[in-house]
């Protein structure tokens, strides 16, 4: 127990503390922006980011991953806030947490194994594009000073690691933010700052139970939004956890992460915050800045609330251009450039799944829809590919025709199975050997019924040999060819 605590909290104190500070600085403008998108006061997003990050650091299943208020969740709650107000949003946030805890106990996190690598890569690329696109408003219709500072920030980020001794000691995004802020304050540059994004809170969050009527009508109002928020939140969190797993070459507990997201959202709703989930951009910043353990996530949350409440005069002076440079670095580092350079080496089906996922996510700004479309396409390609591996060999010995079936018989290969038999051949007996095959569903069973009964209507004696136990079970349950009266029933089967 002590060893595990040390590994998850104290094994990388300096790196986690510095990376947590970088993440906290980068979280502030994003939390404010997401609050504006959702139509609520900036403090709702800032309180949520503090609370979710602090809670998930303790109860989450992926050490080093950052969770807070996110744009994907903000887009879902816009209509609820507009039509019913903040109190109903807080109630929906509580229900979102309950649904996510339920998903964890139902072990829905294990469903991540059905998400193919092509879908994950498409998800990552789409988020990288969206992160970059989100910076464009800060680079549109601005003075040259903004472009110069953004370029200087990128130069610091990519160049500072090569500085002897201190280059590896301090995270370059933190150095970028500090130097750019100091320069802007000394020179007195008239450029957009964090303070221009909205008012920062001046007090710590307090317990705030939603003031709504707790009845069936309220439940019907918030339930659709809570389901959508829970779905989007879990999808983004689980996908981000997988990405952090790959970046750090470590594993995570996906079902614990589902429960942790639920607990964090309930805590957020009780402290006046909006629902949130894992953030791929901030998680990448954390990892690339040296964060590895739960301490980095806790530091990010605690530093965020300290900065906005007690050091707000300094935070207001941070140029948005410096944070834009950090986020551009994130988008460049997040994008899988190998998916472009090696596009000719990848199978066509993988490319279609990958870039369709990218296109849908970028077009809709809805991660859930993009992932759903990607998983659906991957499943269709997989079913089609497996269906082609089913084959039937035929040989004739006297008046007996032997068929040997190999491969998987299911909805995608059932038609091919049926078409492989010659029903017009003049023979007395047919023996179908399925010892090297497997029947997966009712469509496969129906195709076997069809073949057997067609032969029997021609007066042929048919016998099915070698059914394995699983196939025999499903054939016995749903098949009709071996039941009394099967000849009469097969026409409508």
In a domain, 371, yes or no: yes
Among 66, 111, 403, residue whose Cα is nearest residue 255: 111
| Dihedral (Cα; 283, 287, 290, 292), 10-degree rounding | 90
Q: What mean pLDDT do residues 361-380 have?
A: 85
Of 265, 345, 291, nearest to 70 by C-alpha is 265
Mean pLDDT for 13-34 is 88
330 with 425, same domain?
Answer: no
Q: Do 183 and 84 belong to one domain?
A: yes
Give how far Cα 71 sits from Cα of 30, 218, 286, 299, 467, Å: 8, 25, 18, 22, 53
Together in a domain, 101 and 211: yes
The predicted structure's pLDDT at residue 493: 44
485: left (phi over 0), alpha (psi -120 to 50) or beta: left
- Token pair for residue 306? 């300290």
Maximum average pLDDT range among 27-31, 197-201, 255-259: 255-259
What is the extent of the structural domain holding 437?
Answer: 389-492
Candidate from 272-276, 335-339, 443-447 with smallest mean pLDDT: 335-339
Statement to judge: residues 275 and 404 lie in one domain: no
pLDDT score at 492:
45
Q: From the DSSP assignment, how many helices (H) and strands (E) are in the chain?
A: 21, 6
State how far the Cα of 307 lies from the Cα of 314, in Å rounded to an integer.
8
The mean pLDDT value for 384-397 works out to 86
Buried b (16+ CB within 10 A) or exposed e, 262-301: bbbbbbbbbbbbbbbbbbbbbbbbbbbbbbbbbbbbbbbb
Q: How far apart are CA 84 and CA 75, in angstroms?
A: 15
Instruction: Please determine, for residue 60, whether its predicted confidence score (pLDDT) is greater than 80.
Output: yes
- Neighbour tally for 486: CB within 10 Å: 16
Higher pLDDT, 285 or 96: 96
The C-alpha angle 359, 364, 368, rounded to 5 degrees, equals 90
The answer to whether residues 82 and 214 belong to one domain is: yes
What pLDDT digit, counting tens, does each position of 220-246 carry? Answer: 999 999 998 998 899 889 988 988 998
Residue 382 lies in a domain: no
How many angstroms separate the first and last alpha carbons of the chain? 60
pLDDT tens per residue, range 453-462: 999 888 899 9
Report DSSP state, residue 6. I
Q: Are residues 220 and 140 in the same domain?
A: yes
- Co-location of 363 and 395 in the same domain: no
- DSSP codes, 266-313: HHHHHTT----EE-HHHHHHHHHTT--SHHHHHHHHHHHHHHHHHSHH
Say which residue the tokens 């551009």 belong to: 328
Q: Do residues 109 and 257 make contact, with C-beta atoms less than 8 angstroms apart?
A: yes
* Same domain, yes or no: 405 and 472: yes
Same domain, 427 and 362: no
**CA 194/CA 320 separation, integer angstroms:** 6
Please tell me whether residues 155 and 244 are part of one structural domain. Answer: yes
What is the residue-averaged pLDDT of the chain? 88
Q: CA Rg, the chain, in Å?
A: 29
Torsion angles phi and psi, residue 366, rounded to 5: -120, 110
CA proximity to 362, closest of 128, 163, 154: 128
């Amino acid at each position: 127990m002590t060893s595990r605590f040390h590994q998850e909290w104290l094994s990388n104190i300096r790196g986690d503390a510095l990376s947590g500070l970088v993440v906290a600085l980068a979280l502030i403008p994003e939390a404010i922006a997401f609050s504006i998108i959702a139509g609520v006061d900036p403090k709702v997003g800032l309180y949520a980011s503090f609370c979710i990050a602090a809670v998930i650091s303790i109860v989450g299943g992926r050490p080093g991953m950052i969770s807070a208020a996110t744009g994907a969740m903000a887009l879902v709650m816009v209509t609820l806030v507009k039509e019913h107000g903040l109190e109903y949003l807080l109630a929906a946030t509580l229900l979102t947490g309950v649904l996510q805890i339920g998903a964890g106990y139902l072990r829905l996190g294990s469903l991540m194994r059905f998400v193919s690598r092509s879908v994950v890569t498409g998800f990552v690329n789409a988020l990288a594009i969206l992160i970059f696109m989100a910076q464009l408003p800060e680079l549109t219709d601005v003075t040259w000073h903004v472009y110069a500072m953004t370029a200087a920030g990128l130069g610091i980020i990519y160049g500072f690691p090569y500085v002897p001794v201190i280059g590896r000691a301090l995270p370059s995004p933190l150095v970028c933010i500090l130097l750019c802020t100091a320069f802007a304050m000394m020179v007195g540059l008239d450029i957009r700052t964090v303070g221009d994004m909205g008012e920062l809170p001046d007090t710590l969050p307090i317990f705030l139970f939603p003031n709504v009527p707790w009845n069936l009508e309220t439940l019907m109002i918030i339930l659709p939004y809570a389901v959508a928020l829970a779905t989007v939140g879990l999808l983004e969190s689980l996908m981000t956890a997988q990405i952090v797993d790959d970046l750090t070459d470590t594993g995570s507990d996906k079902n614990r992460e589902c429960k942790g997201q639920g607990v964090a959202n309930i805590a957020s709703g009780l402290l006046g915050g909006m629902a949130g989930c894992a953030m791929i951009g901030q998680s990448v910043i954390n990892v690339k800045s040296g964060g590895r353990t739960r301490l980095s996530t806790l530091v990010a949350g605690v530093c965020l609330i300290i900065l906005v409440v007690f050091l707000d005069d300094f935070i207001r002076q941070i140029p948005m251009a410096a944070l834009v440079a950090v986020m551009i670095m994130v988008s460049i580092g997040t994008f899988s450039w190998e998916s472009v350079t090696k596009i000719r080496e990848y199978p066509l089906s993988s490319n279609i799944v990958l870039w369709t996922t990218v296109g849908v996510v970028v077009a809709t700004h809805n991660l859930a829809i993009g992932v759903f479309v990607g998983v659906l396409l991957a499943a269709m390609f997989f079913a089609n590919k497996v269906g082609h591996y089913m084959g039937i060999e035929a040989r004739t010995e006297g008046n007996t025709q032997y068929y040997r079936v190999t491969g998987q018989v299911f909805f995608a290969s059932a038609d091919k199975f049926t078409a492989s038999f010659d029903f017009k051949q003049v023979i007395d007996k047919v023996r179908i050997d399925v010892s090297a095959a497997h029947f997966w569903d009712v469509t496969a069973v129906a195709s076997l019924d069809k073949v057997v009964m067609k032969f029997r209507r021609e007066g042929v004696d048919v016998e099915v040999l070698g059914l394995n136990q699983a196939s025999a079970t499903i054939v016995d349950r749903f098949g009709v060819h071996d039941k009394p009266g099967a000849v009469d029933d097969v026409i409508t089967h």
